[in-house]
């Protein structure tokens, strides 16, 4: 099989890249190791930056998002028992959209299949080779047979645990990692919203986040030991922890409900440089990871493919290679900004195992500065909305 662009991974990065290329008349094949049902049911991100929303809308896959998503014009920082609003829109002129990642996935899969896009689910053992030759290849198992794609370019959009990044010889990549000594316990709850805007809470016992998915479904997180077992958290213990960390002095209450999904996620910062080797380009989580505190992962993936799609379109339409040559440096500039923001939000809002009372006072002083200085609030708001 031959194709201009072979795309490994049908996450937001791979699907959107395939869609953007299709709009410009460029063919691609997307290989995904999981089933359509699995990728459409995996609960992950929920906060879309304005730029992400605009790109989805402009490229014709934003209709349901505009109908079912929720525009938020602020977030709340909560600490020392009080809430403080960061007025995102007033401070930056922009807003965010709360619309779940798996809904974005559904919209993109539908758009690709409606356009007869080549999207292969359930492929196994994808292997990339000849990456620094003019015709890189991907070999894989599909329905009991071995198949091979010969492409002009390969886009490695297969997430942090994918095969694309490790296919680049280690002497051609430099990796930067920070692992945090805590994770997030996340739950999905059948309950009405407890708040009109997301609440980021700092508490002596650790961080908590109140987010939403719909008027009926709420998404809540609290900082936990990454080695903890979900079984050691019966419902009553979860609610007690959330009530404690989110308590205010003004009588705010958290609405409880049936918990129907729960899990623990690890927290990591990671970047690989460069994001290109020969004719393979990495995009999204395959190239970088941020802790979810800044809500940046999905948005970075979208930005990568925005830049990559433009470069590939330039190449296929005019033969110009400047965009492809600049891809890694262009994407990494935004990646490192988001890495810093996500690290900063994480450091300010979580308790670390080696915290001293001195360190805790510094965190409170910084939070107080963010909510009392317009300049500092703008710094947070600008990065948050993207
Ligand atoms: C709990 C949680 C909350 C988050 N909240 C936010 C948020 O609010 N805002 C935000 O912006 N980001 C958030 N993120 C991060 C965001 O979900 C990711 O950054 C985003 O999914 C990255 O998209 P991607 O397409 O690069 O990778 P992925 O979504 O990981 O997609 C990669 C795809 O490749 C497939 N694949 C892997 N290996 C292979 C292989 N060998 N062959 C073929 N296919 C393969 C995988 O099955 C997967 O479908 C959150 C993440 C988590 C876990």
- List phi, psi (to 5°) of 211: -125, 180
Is the CB of 75 inside a 6 Å radius of any atom of ligand 1?
A: no
Q: Is 229 helix (H, G, I), strand (E, B) or coil?
A: coil
Give the integer Cα–Cα distance in Å for 379 and 89: 13
pLDDT, one tens digit per residue, over 124-163 is 999 999 999 999 999 999 988 999 999 999 999 999 999 9
Taking the centre of ligand 1 as the mean of its atom positions, its distance from the CA of residue 323, in whole angstroms, is 25
* Pocket mutation for ligand 1, best pick of 17, 38, 270, 297 (most atoms within 8 Å of C-beta): 297
pLDDT score of 66 = 96
pLDDT score of 44 = 86
Which whole number is the average pLDDT over 111-136? 97
pLDDT, one tens digit per residue, over 155-182 is 999 999 999 999 999 999 999 999 999 9
pLDDT, one tens digit per residue, over 198-249 is 999 999 999 999 999 888 999 999 999 999 999 999 999 999 999 999 999 9
pLDDT score of 316 = 98
pLDDT, one tens digit per residue, over 253-276 is 999 999 999 999 999 999 999 999
- pLDDT at residue 354 tops 90: no
pLDDT, one tens digit per residue, over 330-339 is 999 999 999 9
DSSP string of 36-83? HHHHHH-----EEEHHHHHHHHHTT--HHHHHH-EEE--EEEEETTEE
**Active site (catalytic) residues:** 72, 200, 292, 296, 384
User: What number does the ligand 1 atom closest to the CA of 298 have?
Assistant: 11
């Amino acid at each position: 099989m031959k194709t201009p662009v072979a795309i490994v991974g049908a996450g937001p990065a791979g699907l959107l890249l395939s869609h953007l290329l299709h709009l410009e008349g460029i063919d691609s094949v997307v290989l995904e190791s999981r089933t359509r049902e699995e990728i459409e049911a995996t609960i992950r991100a929920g906060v879309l930056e304005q730029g992400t929303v605009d790109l989805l809308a402009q490229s014709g896959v934003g209709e349901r998002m505009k109908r079912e998503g929720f525009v938020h014009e602020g977030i709340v920082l909560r600490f020392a028992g009080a809430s403080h609003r960061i007025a995102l829109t007033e401070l930056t002129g922009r807003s965010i959209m709360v619309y779940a990642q798996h809904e974005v996935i559904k919209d993109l899969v539908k758009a690709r299949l409606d356009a007869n896009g080549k999207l292969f689910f359930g492929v196994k053992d994808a292997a990339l080779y000849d990456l620094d030759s003019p015709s890189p290849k991907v070999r894989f198992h599909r329905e009991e047979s071995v198949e091979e794609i010969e492409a002009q370019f390969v886009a490695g959009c297969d997430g942090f645990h994918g095969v694309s990044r490790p296919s680049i010889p280690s002497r051609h990549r430099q990796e930067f990692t920070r692992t945090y000594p805590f994770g997030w316990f996340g739950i999905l709850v059948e309950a009405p919203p407890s708040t009109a805007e997301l609440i980021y809470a700092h508490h002596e016992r650790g961080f908590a986040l109140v987010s939403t998915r719909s008027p009926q479904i709420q998404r809540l997180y609290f900082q936990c030991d990454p080695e903890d077992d979900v079984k050691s958290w019966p419902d009553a213990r979860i609610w007690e922890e959330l009530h404690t960390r989110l308590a205010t002095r003004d009588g705010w209450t958290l609405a409880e409900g049936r918990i129907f999904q729960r899990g623990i996620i690890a927290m990591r910062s990671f970047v690989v440089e460069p994001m290109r080797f020969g004719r393979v380009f990495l995009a999204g989580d395959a190239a970088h990871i941020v802790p979810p505190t800044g809500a940046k992962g999905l948005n970075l993936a979208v930005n990568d493919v925005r830049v990559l799609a433009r470069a590939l379109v330039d190449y296929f339409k005019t033969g110009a290679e400047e965009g492809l040559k600049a891809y890694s440096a262009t994407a990494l500039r935004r990646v490192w900004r988001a890495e810093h923001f996500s690290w900063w939000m994480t450091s300010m809002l979580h308790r670390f195992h080696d915290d001293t009372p001195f360190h805790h006072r510094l965190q409170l002083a910084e939070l107080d500065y963010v909510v009392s200085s317009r300049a500092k609030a703008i710094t947070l708001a600008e990065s948050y909305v993207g």
